[in-house]
Amino acid sequence: MGVNGVTEVTNNIATAYASSLNAPAESKKKDEEEVKVKAEAAAVYEKSDEKEADKPKVSNKEADRTKIIQQLKADDALRQQQLLDIVHKMMGKQAKTYGIANSDSDDESIWRFLAKGDFTVDAATKAQAQEDISEDGYWGVKQTSERILDFAKALAGDDPDKLEQMRAAFEKGYKQAEKTWGGELPEISKNTFDAVMKGFDELTGKTQTE
């Protein structure tokens, strides 16, 4: 991505994040409620599907079987898209927070653009961002990875195959977030990616050597 492209992206995300920090508690509460609502809806939807699957089939017509198969495929695709969307959004917000917290650092040149142009990071905004990306912060590795995994579990339940579908959706969502940023995400996002993948390994019974 050229300098103009990066400048435009970073100016936009910096302005959006600075605005959100005017009411950090409300913003985070809204994010939590969104994930919770989607997770609860997914859990109810999953339960409904299971009930339908347990019902005895009253017809063996090929048309009925085809319709059921198509519906199941559509349901799986919907769940994967739901996780993909939430991952894209979460990783983007985490990266924005990191950019604000490190706006005057020379360690990662892409984030230096956040401190240029008409945008200025005030002390309060930067302090809040630094707190948010800390080890126990809302956008830290631990809390962010846990929210992603909780949502994946709500969508997939304990089904190993569906959990693998959620893993694939997570990877796709992460790549989309990278594309949005025009390159690799910051170190905190990479560490979050590793934490989520480890969580999927534990949920599906896989080991790091497999």
Tokens of 48: 């409904």
Spell out the alpha helix ranges (H) of the chain. 3-20, 24-54, 62-101, 109-112, 123-132, 141-156, 160-181, 187-204
- pLDDT band with cut points at 50, 70 and 90 for residue 2: very low
> What number is the average pLDDT over the span 30-43?
60
Q: CA Rg, the chain, in Å?
A: 20
Place of tokens 């534990």: 202
What mean pLDDT is predicted for residues 185-207?
Answer: 91
Tell me the pTM. Answer: 0.64
For residues 184, 188, 191, 192, the Cα torsion angle rounded to the nearest 10 degrees is -100
Amino acid at 56: P
pLDDT at 40: 57
Q: CB 160: neighbour CB atoms within 10 A? A: 12
Mean pLDDT of 19-30: 58
Q: Per-residue pLDDT for 25 more than 70? A: no
Q: Name the more confident of 9 and 19.
A: 19
Buried b (16+ CB within 10 A) or exposed e, 146-156: ebbbebbbbbb
pLDDT for 163 beyond 60: yes
Quick one: pLDDT band at residue 194, thresholds 50, 70, 90?
very high
Per-residue confidence (pLDDT) for residue 117, from 0 to 100? 46
Confidence at 134, pLDDT banded by 50, 70, 90: very high
CB atoms within 10 A of CB 51: 9
Q: At what angle do helices 62-101 and 3-20 cross, to 10 degrees?
A: 90
Would the pLDDT of 90 be above 50? yes
Q: How confident is the model at residue 30 (pLDDT cuts 50, 70, 90)?
A: low
- CA gap 115, 128 in Å, rounded: 16
